[in-house]
């Protein structure tokens, strides 16, 4: 097709008045101009004459075209023409010119600065025409997003004007205007309340993007109101009905909304009142929707509705989709941990499921039961009893480790635990390292308790431990495992302290670790409806290029998060009322400055690897791990992922990462992490 370009240019030059032909030629020109800049440059004269004396539509078309072509001649032409057309009498042309500025800044920001286009674009924010203003906001936002030293700030007076323009703007314009309202910082509670009320009607827009952006603005402003749900009692109901009515849209939009429901449940649960039944899965829901609904069901479960929730989860647990089955079983298990009163009901359901004797159900049930047994140390003997019937069908590493942990931990209640563990030790060398670690610990634990037992059992326990220690130190290559085996070996020799070290009472596990750190939630909240809200992860981890966001300080701001707010004083302000101060300061240092600030986020993940790695709890991150492998390509995604894969060796071993064990194993963990890193090198 490139070969045709000269011909296309000729046609363009000879068919100046035929709009249909012109549009086709332009389409071709835009696509191939970059490959043949010289040919393309010949056509520039057509657009020059169009700009000089075409109808408004033709002028705008010419302006759009020259601003879209990334070759030198066109870029220079654009920069020269834009200042004129930004002040054109026709709003359609002004609007096109506004976006033209954004295009120019993408290609050559220096040239844009030279012509003072940013200031001119800024002036358009005072235009009378809503479409022009919204396009100018869209363009500004685009430029700002890419330049770390720029920031938009909107004052009260101008925000009022903008909200007024919402009424006359078209749907996309409303999106851009609503989005820009995040740059307004309410100085008093009353301002925030006023704007929430004014934006609320837009929750009912049929364009879900308008509704989403309205929601984003409302949630943002709610941070500046003390008890938004008391000040505006209708608010929760309005938000909830907006959310539920968007659930009848296409499944992709549903997915987005559901992810945002999770986000709201984590941050602003007071602002929504949702009935768990809304989120029961439909037979033909796509798997990603079922997954997300399951998470919401889990989050919404409480004492009052646990009956129907459990029924529903049990129904899913016998579905055909294995992933779904596993997730619902996990959800049941987590529920037992989350709400103490429901534990026995949950266990009953799990026991029923075990009865089916379907392999993957057994695996999953064993894994979650381990957590339940861990959480309620002296209860649910019936689970253990049922376990022993299924010992042989436990195959998957995670389930195996869990089973071994239970056999070790509850050996006092299981008569044949030593025998069963010995059976497990037969395949020791073939097992993955997680299982080996579990078995190692379990066998030492049993040995440490064996003194109170009769001699034959004592002997069995000792034989088992010696066998495992020998295999682990002599036959196994994994340094992690070998190290730990040596470590136990040494303690065993100073037998007095053995039980104190390996058989301590474990700290209580809880599901609080579902929660993401405040700072991350804050940023996600400001990104409602964006891709970041789908991933529910620190945005800078997923999108390195994204500009960090945080709540700006004002006297009305309600929550104060520890730590330094992301510095904004170095950013150049682009405000509606003031013109841009053209002296740009040391803008370049902003980026690295704000980075250390985000560091702790990564650390947080490292310190609680079990929150995502062990998968004991149903949580947001989990569904992300179902993503196609491709996500690994991004280095920023890689970091936490590596941690996940590295850590389970410790965490699964002791069922959950335990702080008491940390005292003995903490140092080791870091060392072995190092050694593993070395090996990876």
Partner 1 sequence: MITAFFIFNQKGDVIISKLLREGVRRNVADAFRIQVITSSEVRSPVLTLGSTTFLHIKHGSLWIVAVTRSNADASLVFEFLNKFLSLMLNFLGTTVLDENTVKNNFTFIYELLDETTDFGFPQNMEINGLKQNISVPVAYGSSDFLRRSSAVPSSGIPASGSAGGFLARAGTLRRRSSAALSSPNTSAGAVSWRHAGIKHRRNEVFLDVFEDVSLLMSVNGTILRSVVDGRIMMNSKLSGMPECSFGFNKQSHGQTSAQDVLKDCKFHQCVDLQTFDRDQLIKFIPPDGEFELMTYRVEDVDLPFKVNASVTTFANKAVEYSISISSNFPAKVGSSMVVMRIPTPPGTIKAHIGKLSSGKAKFIAQENLIEWKIFHFNGSVTQTFKASVDIASVGSQESLLAWVRPPISVNFSVKMHTFSGLLVNFLKVNEPSGYNAVKWVKYLSQSKSYEVRY
Residues in region 574-603 near partner 1 by CB under 8 A: none
Provide the minimum distance between the beta carbon of 453 and partner 1 in the complex, in angstroms, as a whole number.
41
Joined together, the tokens standing for residue 370 give: 């381990």
130-146 and 171-180 helices cross at what angle (nearest 10)? 50
List the interface residues with partner 1, window 425-484 (CB under 8 A).
none
Which one, 198 or 348, has the nearer CB to partner 1?
A: 198
Q: What DSSP state is assigned to residue 418?
A: H
Residue 207, helix vs strand vs coil: coil
- Taking CB under 8 A as the binding criterion, the range among 1-9, 147-155, 218-226, 395-403 that sits at the site for partner 1 is 1-9
Measured between alpha carbons, how far is residue 250 from residues 200, 281, 293, 618 in Å?
A: 23, 15, 15, 25
Provide the minimum distance between the beta carbon of 414 and partner 1 in the complex, in angstroms, as a whole number.
29
Provide the minimum distance between the beta carbon of 213 and partner 1 in the complex, in angstroms, as a whole number.
7
Determine, following the binding rule CB under 8 A, whether residue 180 of this chain makes contact with partner 1. no
Report the alpha-carbon distance of residue 648 to residue 662 in Å, rounded.
14
Instruction: Tell me the per-residue interface mask from 211 to 250 with partner 1, x by CB under 8 A, - otherwise.
Output: xxx-----------------------xx--x--xxx-xxx
Contacting partner 1 (CB under 8 A), which of 52, 89, 545, 681?
545
Spatial CA neighbour of 134 closest among 92, 180, 88, 100: 180
Which one, 1 or 52, has the nearer CB to partner 1?
A: 1
List the interface residues with partner 1, window 137-166 (CB under 8 A).
138-139, 142, 145
Which one, 260 or 653, has the nearer CB to partner 1?
A: 260
Say if CB 337 and CB 368 are below 8 A apart: no
Determine, following the binding rule CB under 8 A, whether residue 375 of this chain makes contact with partner 1. no
List the interface residues with partner 1, window 47-66 (CB under 8 A).
55-57, 60, 64
Residue 232, helix vs strand vs coil: coil
Contacting partner 1 (CB under 8 A), which of 113, 161, 207, 393?
207
Provide the minimum distance between the beta carbon of 459 and partner 1 in the complex, in angstroms, as a whole number.
43
Determine, following the binding rule CB under 8 A, whether residue 516 of this chain makes contact with partner 1. no
List the interface residues with partner 1, window 604-663 (CB under 8 A).
623, 626-628, 630-631, 633-634, 637
Could you give phi then psi for residue 26, rounded to 5 degrees?
-60, -40
Which one, 187 or 207, has the nearer CB to partner 1?
A: 207
Spatial CA neighbour of 271 closest among 219, 312, 224: 219
Determine, following the binding rule CB under 8 A, whether residue 352 of this chain makes contact with partner 1. no
Contacting partner 1 (CB under 8 A), which of 543, 619, 644, 665?
543
Measured between alpha carbons, how far is residue 178 from residues 165, 215, 285 in Å?
A: 10, 9, 31
Provide the minimum distance between the beta carbon of 168 and partner 1 in the complex, in angstroms, as a whole number.
5
- Taking CB under 8 A as the binding criterion, the range among 111-119, 281-289, 436-444, 666-674 that sits at the site for partner 1 is 281-289
Q: What DSSP state is assigned to residue 365?
A: H
Q: Got the DSSP string for 29-77?
A: HHHHTTT-HHHHHHTHHHHHHHHHH--HHHHHHHHHHHHH--SHHHHHH
Which one, 97 or 439, has the nearer CB to partner 1?
A: 97
- Taking CB under 8 A as the binding criterion, the range among 150-158, 196-204, 589-597, 641-649 that sits at the site for partner 1 is 196-204
Report the alpha-carbon distance of residue 424 to residue 97 in Å, rounded.
73
List the interface residues with partner 1, window 387-426 (CB under 8 A).
none
First to last CA, the chain: 48
List the interface residues with partner 1, window 60-99 (CB under 8 A).
60, 64, 68, 70, 90-93, 95-96, 99
Determine, following the binding rule CB under 8 A, whether residue 542 of this chain makes contact with partner 1. yes
Contacting partner 1 (CB under 8 A), which of 53, 283, 452, 586?
283
Collect all residues with Cβ–Cβ distance below 8 Å to 388 and sequence separation of at least 6: 414, 416, 420
- Taking CB under 8 A as the binding criterion, the range among 101-109, 293-301, 507-515, 584-592 that sits at the site for partner 1 is 101-109
Which one, 408 or 538, has the nearer CB to partner 1?
A: 538
Which one, 167 or 377, has the nearer CB to partner 1?
A: 167
∠652-418-359 over CA atoms, to 5°? 55
Contacting partner 1 (CB under 8 A), which of 86, 102, 471, 613?
102
- Max Cα–Cα distance, the chain, nearest Å: 105
Say if CB 624 and CB 535 are below 8 A apart: yes
Joined together, the tokens standing for residue 463 give: 């034989």
Contacting partner 1 (CB under 8 A), which of 49, 269, 318, 584?
318
Residue 152: beta bridge partners?
Answer: 574
Contacting partner 1 (CB under 8 A), which of 184, 220, 280, 447?
280
Where helices occur in 282-416 by DSSP H, the ranges are: 287-300, 306-316, 322-338, 343-355, 359-375, 381-390, 397-409
Provide the minimum distance between the beta carbon of 323 and partner 1 in the complex, in angstroms, as a whole number.
9
Distance from the Cα of residue 642 to its chain's centroid:
17
Collect all residues with Cβ–Cβ distance below 8 Å to 307 and sequence separation of at least 6: 345
Contacting partner 1 (CB under 8 A), which of 32, 47, 288, 405?
288
Report the alpha-carbon distance of residue 15 to residue 23 in Å, rounded.
11
Which one, 81 or 431, has the nearer CB to partner 1?
A: 81
Determine, following the binding rule CB under 8 A, whether residue 333 of this chain makes contact with partner 1. no
Joined together, the tokens standing for residue 572 give: 């150049």
Could you give phi then psi for residue 461, rounded to 5 degrees?
-65, -40
């Amino acid at each position: 097709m490139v070969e045709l370009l000269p011909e296309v240019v000729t046609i363009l030059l000879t068919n100046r008045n035929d709009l249909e032909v012109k549009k086709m030629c332009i389409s071709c020109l835009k696509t191939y101009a970059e490959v043949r800049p010289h040919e393309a440059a010949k056509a520039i004269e057509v657009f020059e004459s169009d700009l000089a004396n075409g109808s408004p539509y033709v002028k705008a078309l010419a302006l759009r075209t020259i601003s879209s072509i990334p070759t030198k001649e066109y870029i220079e032409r654009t920069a020269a023409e834009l200042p004129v057309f930004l002040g054109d009498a026709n709003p359609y042309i002004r609007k096109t010119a506004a976006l033209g500025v954004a295009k120019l800044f993408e290609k050559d920001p220096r040239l844009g600065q030279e012509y003072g286009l940013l200031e001119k674009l800024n002036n358009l924010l005072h235009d009378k025409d809503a479409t022009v203003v919204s396009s100018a906001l869209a363009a500004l936002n685009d430029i700002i997003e890419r330049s770390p030293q720029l920031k938009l700030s909107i004052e009260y007076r101008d925000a009022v004007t903008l909200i007024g323009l919402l009424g006359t703007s078209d749907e996309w314009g409303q999106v851009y205007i609503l989005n820009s309202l995040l740059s307004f910082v309410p100085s008093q509670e009353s301002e925030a309340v006023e704007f929430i009320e004014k934006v609320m009607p837009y929750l009912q827009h049929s364009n879900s993007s308008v509704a989403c952006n309205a929601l984003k603005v409302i949630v943002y402003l709610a941070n500046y109101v003390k008890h938004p749900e008391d000040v505006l009692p209708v608010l929760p109901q309005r938000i909830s009905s907006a959310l539920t009515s968007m659930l009848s849209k296409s499944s992709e939009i549903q997915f987005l909304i559901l992810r945002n429901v999770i986000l709201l449940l984590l941050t602003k649960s007071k602002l929504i009142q949702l009935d768990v039944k809304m989120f029961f899965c439909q037979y033909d829901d796509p798997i990603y929707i079922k997954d997300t609904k399951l998470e919401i069901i889990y989050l919404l479960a409480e004492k009052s509705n646990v009956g129907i929730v459990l029924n529903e989860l049990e129904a899913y647990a016998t579905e055909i989709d294995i992933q779904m089955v596993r997730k619902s079983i996990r959800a049941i298990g987590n529920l037992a941990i989350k709400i103490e009163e429901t534990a026995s009901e949950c266990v009953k359901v799990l026991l029923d499921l075990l009865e089916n004797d379907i392999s993957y159900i057994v695996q999953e049930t064993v894994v979650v039961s381990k957590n339940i047994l861990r959480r309620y140390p002296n209860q649910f003997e019936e689970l253990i009893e049922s376990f022993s019937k299924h010992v042989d069908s436990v195959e998957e590493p995670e389930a195996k480790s869990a089973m071994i942990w239970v056999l070790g931990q509850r050996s006092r209640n299981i008569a044949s635990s030593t025998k069963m563990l010995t059976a497990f030790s037969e395949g020791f060398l073939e097992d993955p390292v997680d299982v080996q670690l579990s078995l190692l610990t379990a066998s030492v634990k049993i040995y440490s308790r064996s003194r109170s037992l009769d001699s034959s059992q004592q002997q069995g326990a000792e034989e088992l431990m010696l066998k495992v220690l020998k295999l682990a130190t002599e036959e196994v290559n994994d340094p992690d495992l070998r190290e730990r085996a040596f470590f136990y070996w040494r303690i065993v020799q100073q037998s007095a302290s053995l039980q104190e070290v390996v058989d301590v009472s474990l700290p209580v596990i809880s599901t609080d670790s579902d929660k993401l750190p405040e700072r991350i939630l804050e940023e996600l909240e400001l990104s409602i409806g964006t891709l970041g809200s789908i991933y529910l992860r620190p945005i800078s981890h997923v999108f390195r290029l994204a500009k960090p966001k945080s709540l700006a300080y004002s006297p009305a701001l309600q929550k104060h998060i520890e730590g330094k707010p992301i510095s904004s004083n170095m950013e150049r302000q682009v405000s509606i009322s003031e013109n841009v101060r053209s002296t740009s300061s040391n803008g370049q240092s902003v980026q690295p400055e704000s980075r250390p600030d985000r560091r702790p986020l990564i650390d947080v993940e490292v310190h609680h690897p079990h929150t995502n790695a062990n998968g004991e709890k149903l949580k947001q991150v989990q569904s992300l791990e179902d993503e196609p492998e491709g996500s690994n390509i991004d280095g920023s995604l890689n970091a936490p992922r590596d941690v996940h894969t590295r850590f389970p060796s410790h965490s699964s071993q002791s069922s959950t990462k335990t702080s008491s064990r940390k005292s003995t194993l903490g140092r080791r963990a870091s060392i072995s992490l190092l050694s593993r890193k070395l090996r990876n090198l």
